[in-house]
Amino acid sequence: MNKKKLIILLITLLPMASFAQQGWEVGGWLGVSHYFGDLNTRFDVLHPGPAGGAIARYNFNKRLCLRFGANYGYVGANDANSKNSFEQRRNLSFNSHIFEGAATFEFNFMPYTHGSRDEFFTPYLFGGFSVFHYNPKAKHNGEWIKLQQMGTEGQFKGEEYFLTQPALVYGLGIKWDLTPEWSMNVELNARYLFTDYLDDVSTVYPEMDDLEALRGELAVMMSDRSIPDAEGILIGQPGRQRGDDSNNDYFTFFGIGVVRYFGKLKCPSF
């Protein structure tokens, strides 16, 4: 083979060797959600809630993706499940639906190409941000009470915590091809929150007389649901610790997803 033919062959093969995967993937995932915070201080993972969502991922190349997600999770906790005697007597609980929109960048540790025999799986990391909506509730006499509007820690009307909040998203996973078009991923991801009120618990008990005058008797009962001692005294004394505001709450998703790839391989531009 002469020099001219070799150069032509290399020019022909070089783009083929450096094909870049570009295109959209769309699918969904199902899994579980966990909450960690003032009502779950021992990282109990035995009481998960259902979770799921939709995935739209754009592949820039074999390594980098931009992903959008619409997610749902159901979280909650109950002091009755704690092994801490103070928390058991405090007797607080909550549940909340979480609706979230997220945008993240995803980095593949290994080159990943749909339909490739050699590049068909990879672990990956991702990070980004989200906006989520929640509304903590607790049961009272068989009825679900929205806790934010009760001002359970003495918040004045109009100064309650916001029910829509931003969060930072981070996590890891692994994905692999099922067919040239379909792939599966398993991942664990978490949210760093900028609020400590996902569970409606953060600081101290308010002055109950003031709370009753401001919000009514139901607000007092939802603020201090403690189990009375032998003398019938509740623990909700003004200024006494109700939660720990030194650490914000957070929640996690663990799920299995299936997505379909709509893109194609193409040569990079010169």
pLDDT in tens, 213-269: 999 999 999 999 999 988 889 999 999 999 999 999 999 999 999 999 998 755 444
Predicted local confidence at residue 4, as pLDDT: 57
Map residue 220 onto helix, strand or coil. helix
* Residue 217, in any domain of the structure: no
CATH of the domain at 71: 2.40.160.20
d(CA 178, CA 227): 54
In a domain, 70, yes or no: yes
Q: Does residue 104 sit within a domain?
A: yes
Q: Which residues form the domain of 36?
A: 21-202+248-264
Mean of pLDDT values over 117-132: 96
Q: What is the pLDDT of residue 20?
A: 57
**Is there a domain that residue 16 lies in?**
no
Percent of the chain scoring above 90 in pLDDT: 86
Position 212 in a domain: no
pLDDT score of 50: 98
Number of domains in the chain: 1
Residue 167 has pLDDT above 90, yes or no: yes
Whether 164 is covered by a domain: the verdict is yes
Is 231 a domain residue? no
pLDDT score, position 14: 42
**Dihedral sign of CA atoms 190, 194, 198, 204 in order:** positive
- Does the residue 75 lie in any domain? yes
